[in-house]
Amino acid sequence: MPSTLHTHDLILRMKRIVQDQHLSAQNIYDLLEGEGYHVSLNSIKRVFSEGSEHEHFRFHDTIQPISRVLLDIYGSDTDNSEIEGLKAAIRVKDELITKLERELARTKTESSDRIEYFKHQIALKDERIDRLMSRVDQVLANNTELLAQIQALLAKLT
């Protein structure tokens, strides 16, 4: 996650580009859509509103796509090494996101496997319980029958 200071500076740079190029929120939205990014028009308006550089935005979902498009198309008042540094930072973050997504997928798969194993174990225990309950029912039936026979014998004796 980028630092608050980095995001703050990035938003200020983007605001200067928007002001210099006389871009509307709709223009930015169209540029983003053209590059295959989706950021809502409302989010774009919030990013470029007064004082927004002090707000917190979801960097990867909002700030990163807007900065990629604006800095790529219009550049900024920074030197090329700084832009390349930002691009490198974005690439590193993209790689990290990809790595984390793979790790999440692996963890989900392992969790699913464990869940299936435990479901199978529960099913086996349920079968054992059903067999034992069947035996208990059979023993109770036998005991009831024996009790009836004993009562019949006692009745004959008395």
CB–CB of 16/76 below 8 Å?
yes
**With a threshold of 0.95, does the pTM exceed it?**
no
Number of neighbours of residue 59 by Cβ within 10 angstroms: 16
CA distances for 80 relative to 61, 75, 83, angstroms? 25, 9, 5
Separation CA 120–CA 126 (nearest Å): 10
Give pLDDT tens digits along the chain (158 positions).
455 557 788 888 889 888 888 999 999 999 899 889 999 999 999 989 888 888 888 887 888 888 888 887 766 555 555 666 777 778 888 888 899 999 999 999 999 999 999 999 999 999 999 999 999 999 999 999 999 999 999 999 87
